[in-house]
Structure formats: C-alpha cells, structure tokens
Amino acid sequence: MRTLVATALANAKGKDVYCAARKVSDEQIAIIRQTNRQSLEEMGFTFIKLLSLDYPDVRGHAIFFEGHMDEMAKILKKVEKGY
C-alpha cells in the first residue's frame, strides 16, 4: 500500500514548502523535513517528481510512504528518539 504523506514545491529561494496530507501531524512533517532524503528513502518513503505542463519552472515532489500510516508513525517516532 502506498500512502500520500505530503507534497513539496520549491519556492523562489529554492526551499521546499510542504503541504501535508490530512492524517499527517505537524510533528511528523517536522521530522520528515529535518531528515535527509536518502535516509527517508531507506525507511520506506518514495519521492515522485512533480511537473507542470503549463508552467515549466514549477519544481516539486510528492512524498509517499510504502505502507500504512501507523507504520510510518512508528518509524518517525524512532527517528525522533534517535534510533
């Protein structure tokens, strides 16, 4: 099962602006933002590039977790505690 966690679009300064899925808490998004992409991918997250046919300079990605939300919550709790 693939669960949408958030979408992230780059702003004019190149920083990602996150829009979380409804079931994802602010604390979970904060952990995701603080963790590097490679580590997240090793934990089961998938990043899919977003593009716009109308606006070629739009950059971003959708972030999915390969599993259920409760599994993701357990993994992020471990990351928060430093395991």
Q: What is the pLDDT of residue 3?
A: 93
Whole-number Å distance between alpha carbons of 81 and 20: 22
User: Inter-axis angle of helices 69-81 and 26-34, to 10 degrees?
Assistant: 60
The structural domain count of the chain equals 1
The pLDDT of residue 47: 96
Range of the domain at 22: 3-81
User: Would you give per-residue pLDDT tens digits along the chain (83 residues)?
Assistant: 899 999 999 888 888 899 999 999 999 999 999 999 999 999 999 999 998 889 888 889 999 999 999 999 999 999 888 76
| Residue 5 main-chain phi, psi, to 5 deg | -100, -50
pLDDT of residue 55: 86
Which residue reads 């919550």 in tokens? 73
